[in-house]
Amino acid sequence: MSAGEPPAPIPGARLLFSIDPGVSYLNHGSFGAVPIGVQRAQQRLRDETESNPLRFYAQGLNDRIIHTRRHLAAFVGADAEGSALVPNTTAGASLVLGSVKLEPTDEVLVTDHAYGSVALATRRRCRRAGATVRTVALPMPAADGELVSRVRAALRPGRTKLLIIDQIASATAMTFPVREITAAAHEHDIPVLVDAAHVPGMLPVDVASSGADFWVGNFHKWAFAPRGTALLSVAPPWRRKMEPLVVSWEQDQGYPHSVEFQGTLDYSPWLAAPTGLFTLRTLGWDQVRAHNSALAAYGQRVVAEALDVPVGDLPRPADPDLAMRVVPLPAGLATTPPEAQALRNHISDKLAVETAVNAWGGRGLLRLSAQVYNRPEEYDRFAERLPQLLHDYRR
């Protein structure tokens, strides 16, 4: 199997990050990596806060939050007046779950690609309401038409009160046709929450045209924002129904102010987030996307070749800009979440390589991410050493 040609590095891009040079950090998708310039912008905001905390919190903070929110919303094509800054996608999903009315006869529909913490939040919300969580299995890989058809068949008009669908699934790195799936759900007046945790900064998106009732995406993964920065976009009919997870002083102002203002929260990640977008645009977003997707594909190919994974078993992304790829691990490895975590830790400890290992569908999946600080030789070295490590690990 040919490994293909890796992309040329983007000049100077690696110097923008403080990643440990002794570690091959091939897992940007989990926690991102904040550019040095953004780190410094955030530190200046922390310094400003500590120089006069009362002034920072009491004079003009709301205006600065609104300015940031408008900046981030414009980047993803969302209505700024219907969007709110939240700490992460899971927090946004929990907010939505708490704002959708559920009765004991109701259900929330998720897929077997749902992110773990979102699935946990859904189960807790349904348990408290006496409602049901139902999971629809979606194959990997699958054509968009099949995905839409399977979700449509799983909907139960009158009972399904919310559909949660990933735009990019974390464990499987699959993309889903959220616009078409949302349209299918709306045929039965079923609202849709799109988990877009990996979308901002990786894929071009126009939230307003997606039709989603709720859309939430992290900016601290692929958009170079400090960790703790995400945007929740809510369609007009739902905005008055949104209730914050914690009540604070802006409660009477309603959404989005009631959600965003949380007293003595550290707002420096949000306020520094536009610097992350500036960094991305300075590098050239089209160039970054092309580089990252090509490098992720290269990494997937060389690792799969080393593990003797047939070409036909490699999931191919529907979107060419995808910067995450998965490689199926040998049968019997990492088949449960604890086993997957243990293997991930072992790879980190023994090879000084950071990856993501997930258990999905009874199979271990190695997920590789690519970012501008990565180099092809990191994937080459990993591919050379991984087979022996897995052989020894199974003994």
**Does some domain include residue 335?**
yes
Whether residue 2 has pLDDT greater than 60: no
Helix (H) or strand (E) holding 97: helix 89-99
Tell me, yes or no, whether 171 and 299 share the same domain. no
pLDDT in tens, 138-161: 999 899 999 999 999 999 999 999
**Residue entry with tokens 């905001």:** 45
What pTM was estimated for this model as a whole? 0.95
Say what the pLDDT of residue 314 is. Answer: 84
Start-to-end Cα distance in the chain: 28
Amino acid letter, residue 352: A
pLDDT in tens, 108-136: 999 999 999 999 999 999 999 999 999 99
CATH of the domain at 201: 3.40.640.10
**Of 217, 251, 277, which residue sits at a domain end?**
277
CATH of the domain at 301: 3.90.1150.10
Tell me, yes or no, whether 176 and 314 share the same domain. no
**Does some domain include residue 4?**
no
Whether residue 276 has pLDDT greater than 60: yes
**Does some domain include residue 8?**
no
For residue 272, CA distances in Å to 3, 31, 199, 258 come to 39, 17, 19, 21
Tell me, yes or no, whether 260 and 336 share the same domain. no
pLDDT confidence tier of residue 1, bands split at 50, 70 and 90: very low
The maximal CA–CA distance of the chain, rounded, in angstroms, is 62
Tell me, yes or no, whether 296 and 251 share the same domain. no
Tell me, yes or no, whether 289 and 264 share the same domain. no
Calpha distance 172→147 (Å, rounded): 14
Phi, psi of 139 (to 5 degrees): -70, 160
- Per the structure, the count of domains in the chain is 2
Tell me, yes or no, whether 245 and 363 share the same domain. no
Whether residue 313 has pLDDT greater than 90: no
pLDDT in tens, 70-119: 999 999 999 999 999 999 999 999 999 999 999 999 999 999 999 999 99
Closest to 132 (Cα-Cα) out of 94, 100, 161, 92: 161
**Of 246, 277, 308, which residue sits at a domain end?**
277
Calpha distance 211→233 (Å, rounded): 11
**Does some domain include residue 201?**
yes
Alpha helices, H only, 130-267: 144-154, 178-186, 207-210, 257-260
Average pLDDT over residues 336-343: 97
Tell me, yes or no, whether 224 and 288 share the same domain. no
For the ranges 15-29, 34-48, 248-262, the lowest mean pLDDT is seen at: 248-262
Tell me, yes or no, whether 272 and 292 share the same domain. no
Tell me, yes or no, whether 225 and 109 share the same domain. yes
Domain with 151 in it: 38-277
**Of 216, 247, 277, which residue sits at a domain end?**
277
Calpha distance 33→292 (Å, rounded): 14
Cα angle 284, 285, 286; round to 5: 95
DSSP state of 269: H
pLDDT confidence tier of residue 315, bands split at 50, 70 and 90: confident
Q: Contact, 323 vs 202, CB < 8 A?
A: yes
Q: Contact, 133 vs 182, CB < 8 A?
A: no
Closest to 283 (Cα-Cα) out of 96, 51, 6, 15: 15
Calpha distance 151→69 (Å, rounded): 32
Say what the pLDDT of residue 320 is. Answer: 85
Say what the pLDDT of residue 271 is. Answer: 98
DSSP state of 225: P
Tell me, yes or no, whether 96 and 216 share the same domain. yes
Say what the pLDDT of residue 312 is. Answer: 78
**Does some domain include residue 6?**
no
Q: Contact, 317 vs 172, CB < 8 A?
A: no
Q: Contact, 65 vs 73, CB < 8 A?
A: no
Helix (H) or strand (E) holding 369: strand 363-369
Tell me, yes or no, whether 59 and 123 share the same domain. yes
Say what the pLDDT of residue 316 is. Answer: 80
Tell me, yes or no, whether 129 and 245 share the same domain. yes
Say what the pLDDT of residue 3 is. Answer: 46
pLDDT confidence tier of residue 319, bands split at 50, 70 and 90: confident
Say what the pLDDT of residue 317 is. Answer: 79
pLDDT in tens, 149-197: 999 999 999 999 999 999 999 999 999 999 999 999 999 999 999 999 9
Token readout for 164 is: 């949660």
